A and B are shown apart, each in its own frame.
Chain A
Amino acid sequence: MDSRSGAPTRRQLLSAIAKVGGTAALYQAMTTLGHAAETQFHGPPNLQGARSGAKVIVLGAGLAGMLAAFELRKAGYEVQVLEFQNRAGGRNWSLRGGDTYTELGGATQKVGFAQGNYLNPGPWRIPHHHRTLLHYCKQFGVALEPFIQFNHSGWVHSSQAFGGKPVRFNAAAADFEGNIAELLAKSVNAKALDDTVTQEDRDRLLEALKGWGMLDKDYKYSASLRASSHRGFERPGGGGVDGAPIPSKDLYSLHDVLDPQVWTSMAFFMGSEMQTTMFQPVGGMDMIGKAFAKQVDGLITYNAKVSKIAQDDKGVVVSWTDTVTGKAADAKADYCVCTIPLGILGQMDLAVTDEMMAAIKAVPYSGQVKIGLEMKRRFWEEDDFIYGGHSFTDQEIGLISYPNNNMFGNGPAVLLGAFARDLGAFRLAGMTPEQRIEVALQQGSVLHPGSYRKEFASGASVAWSRVPWTLGCCARWNEETRKEHYQTLVAMDRRIVLAGEHASYVGCWMEGALLSSIDAITRLHKRALEA
């Protein structure tokens, strides 16, 4: 940006608006000036001028904690981070060949994946509008690559439709839309909508239904080259003698395409968090955690199990134990940014108000299960022409998701063999790691019958309800708890402020953790300067 030129740049203008009117004015101005209002991120917090000698203790070296440490140190604070694990990153995590993971209950898995292959047990995809995360990825030098979110060629499997056989997403979606378009056109032509739609709009609606639903001139959805252009051909167009395409003949019935597995698989991609473009770090999700850790090098004390957080007029005292040596210690600071997951925090001895304690204890956690399966070859690419993206199933595994990197490679590759939730996740989590792999193979074989077991090499699973350092995957708020507890939870409790995905409305996403952290440390800094 050239700051010497006469007219203010957009950035200068926005910066001036922010200074005069605060972030609310900036937000409004950005919306007016054409920025999509998809995030509350307006740039890094740019905190400055901490009082000399002021110290902040940060609990947890996940993304929220490390961002707090990075920005607060930059602002001039002395910062110490305590982390329960022997690694940084928190739920930003990848499992690779040679790693071992011991879950609660004691089951230990030694990951047998080939070099370069990995499972991301936690976050695995980044929406394009999660700008805080994208900003810091760029600033900290994390290389990102596309995450293939939407693949029209993935399978959709319902145990209660299509004879229990998997069908291609594009065929199921095309037939759903075609059938709905035909029915609606029939209603229009039967004058069923004459009372509610003007003649002009009825004509326009019919045109839209014909175009969108691939209907023929009689407003019928039928086997045709037109329908096949959406759902797939029996024989696609080619060259030479047999070049003419042959349309697919057996359209799926209305009854089959009304199975909820079809429309929920379609609707899945409508949510703003699930819209393309999405990204993943090159080499595994933990590249982000590692890049953050590099920025706060030397500030983190690992293997530190916190048991008590006390505070008074003078400061904060955190009692912790070194889980390797067993040695107990107290860490003192002026302020505390606490990112410990609520289920664990609620079991500690905390000097906070009763209202804050009630808020901490009011939010349950979800318990997703992910299973990575290493296959000897990329049969989904070689046999089924599926390159990245997902296949959906109504079995407990929930989906199969295909690797987005090294396409067309010859070596072994790891696919996501389960992303189970709710009751499916409880059932898988209750099993031994070996049993989980067996179920994943059995259920995955329904979608890839010929190759799934044959090509299987090794697997690894993470059941989040048994992860020792979180006791769950993500905070699960509901309207009632939001109303009763959210503002208390995010408010500063004298010298302590909470941060993490649980202290945001972008729960379960790294973006929420970062936005929460920026908000928490901005308020902490203001409070510290006012004190």
Chain B
Amino acid sequence: MKKFVVLTALLLASPAVAQDSAGGVVRVPKPVTGEQVYGAVCQACHMADAKGATGAGTIPPLASNPKLAGAAYPIMVVAGGKGAMPGFSGTLSNAQMAEVVTYVRTHFGNAYAKPVTEADVAKIAKPPPAASH
């Protein structure tokens, strides 16, 4: 199990949201490094090897993906979402998004060495929209 910083993120379940959910609050360890963010979030869909998967639809691979050559595209997708993938603005900090985009662009067969900074993310990420049901 990876080591996380002891800081926690607090998520409140709003009773105004109609979605079926567990209720109460959830406090999860806050992932900090790119590797930690990848393991705690991205891996849920893109898989531990970043190769994605295909069923009725496809979760695209991040491994050896030429679309990651420019930093703007992955920042845009991580912050704003794409198709079924939710955007992470508001859920992850700009620093966390910068770390994970840097990590993915320098691992899994990708070698785009230039680190993505928090400022790069801030330029692209919009604040999250209000939730609704």
Residues of A within 8 A of B (CB): 84, 104-106, 123-125, 156, 158-160, 260-261, 264-265, 267-271, 273-274, 305, 340-344, 346-347, 361, 364-368, 390, 392-396, 398-399, 419-427, 429-430, 463, 465-472, 474, 476-482, 505-509
List residues of chain B with CB within 8 A of the CB of A347: 57-58, 83
CB-based nearest B residue for A104: B53
CB-based nearest B residue for A476: B86
A471 touches B25 (CB 8 A): no
CB-based nearest B residue for A421: B21
List residues of chain A with CB within 8 A of the CB of B18: 271, 273, 505-509
A472 touches B26 (CB 8 A): no
B20 touches A305 (CB 8 A): no
- Verify if B48 is at the interface (C-beta below 8 Å from A): yes
A105 touches B53 (CB 8 A): yes
A478 touches B130 (CB 8 A): yes
B55 touches A398 (CB 8 A): no
User: Smallest CB–CB gap between A373 and chain B, Å?
Assistant: 15
A264 touches B13 (CB 8 A): yes
List residues of chain B with CB within 8 A of the CB of A474: 19-20
List residues of chain B with CB within 8 A of the CB of A84: 55-56
- Verify if B133 is at the interface (C-beta below 8 Å from A): yes
A479 touches B129 (CB 8 A): yes
Chain B 68-94 near chain A by CB (<8 Å), digits 1 or 0: 000000000000011111110001000
Contact of B22 among A341, A392, A469 (CB under 8 A): A392
Contact of B25 among A106, A261, A390, A463 (CB under 8 A): A261
B19 touches A423 (CB 8 A): no
- Verify if B111 is at the interface (C-beta below 8 Å from A): no
A9 to B34 Cα, complex, angstroms: 67
User: Smallest CB–CB gap between B89 and chain A, Å?
Assistant: 12
B27 touches A392 (CB 8 A): no
List residues of chain B with CB within 8 A of the CB of A508: 18-20
Query: Which interface residue of B20, B21, B42 has the most chain A CB atoms within 10 A?
Result: B20
CB-based nearest B residue for A477: B132
A340 to B83 Cα, complex, angstroms: 13
A274 to B17 Cα, complex, angstroms: 11
User: Smallest CB–CB gap between B127 and chain A, Å?
Assistant: 11
List residues of chain B with CB within 8 A of the CB of A425: 44
A412 to B108 Cα, complex, angstroms: 44
Q: A271-B18, A399-B23, A427-B40 are in contact. Are A479 and B11 (CB under 8 A)?
A: no
List residues of chain A with CB within 8 A of the CB of B85: 343, 364
Contact of B24 among A268, A340, A471, A477 (CB under 8 A): A268
A480 touches B20 (CB 8 A): no
A450 to B13 Cα, complex, angstroms: 29
A471 touches B44 (CB 8 A): no
B43 touches A420 (CB 8 A): no
B55 touches A419 (CB 8 A): no
Report 6 cross-chain contacts, Cβ distance below 8 Å, ordered by A residue: A105-B47, A341-B84, A392-B23, A398-B24, A426-B43, A506-B18
Q: A268-B15, A469-B55 are in contact. Are A274 and B27 (CB under 8 A)?
A: no
Contact of B91 among A423, A467, A479 (CB under 8 A): A423
B86 touches A365 (CB 8 A): yes
A296 to B123 Cα, complex, angstroms: 53
List residues of chain A with CB within 8 A of the CB of B58: 347
B19 touches A394 (CB 8 A): no
A474 to B21 Cα, complex, angstroms: 11
A472 to B33 Cα, complex, angstroms: 26
B83 touches A509 (CB 8 A): no
Q: A261-B24, A347-B83, A361-B83 are in contact. Are A507 and B19 (CB under 8 A)?
A: yes
List residues of chain B with CB within 8 A of the CB of A367: 44-45
Query: Which interface residue of B11, B22, B26, B86 has the most chain A CB atoms within 10 A?
Result: B22
List residues of chain A with CB within 8 A of the CB of B7: none
User: Smallest CB–CB gap between A417 and chain B, Å?
Assistant: 12
- Verify if B113 is at the interface (C-beta below 8 Å from A): no
Query: Which interface residue of B24, B44, B55, B82 has the most chain A CB atoms within 10 A?
Result: B24
A479 to B133 Cα, complex, angstroms: 8
Chain B 85-114 near chain A by CB (<8 Å), digits 1 or 0: 111000100000000000000000000000
Q: A268-B24, A346-B83 are in contact. Are A469 and B19 (CB under 8 A)?
A: no
Query: Which interface residue of A343, A395, A420 has the most chain B CB atoms within 10 A?
Result: A343
Q: A466-B53, A508-B18 are in contact. Are A343 and B131 (CB under 8 A)?
A: no
A442 to B53 Cα, complex, angstroms: 29
User: Smallest CB–CB gap between A526 and chain B, Å?
Assistant: 28
A312 to B43 Cα, complex, angstroms: 41
List residues of chain A with CB within 8 A of the CB of B55: 84, 104, 467-469, 471
- Apart from A264-B23, A420-B26, A477-B132, what are 14 other A-B pairs with CB-CB below 8 Å? A84-B55, A84-B56, A104-B47, A264-B13, A271-B15, A347-B83, A361-B82, A364-B86, A364-B87, A396-B28, A398-B21, A399-B22, A465-B45, A469-B55
B22 touches A398 (CB 8 A): yes
Query: Which interface residue of B10, B48, B91, B129 has the most chain A CB atoms within 10 A?
Result: B129
User: Smallest CB–CB gap between A203 and chain B, Å?
Assistant: 31
B86 touches A429 (CB 8 A): no
List residues of chain A with CB within 8 A of the CB of B26: 394-396, 398, 420-424
- Verify if B9 is at the interface (C-beta below 8 Å from A): yes
Q: A423-B40, A472-B84 are in contact. Are A260 and B130 (CB under 8 A)?
A: no
List residues of chain B with CB within 8 A of the CB of A472: 84
A477 touches B84 (CB 8 A): no
Q: A268-B13, A343-B83 are in contact. Are A394 and B132 (CB under 8 A)?
A: no
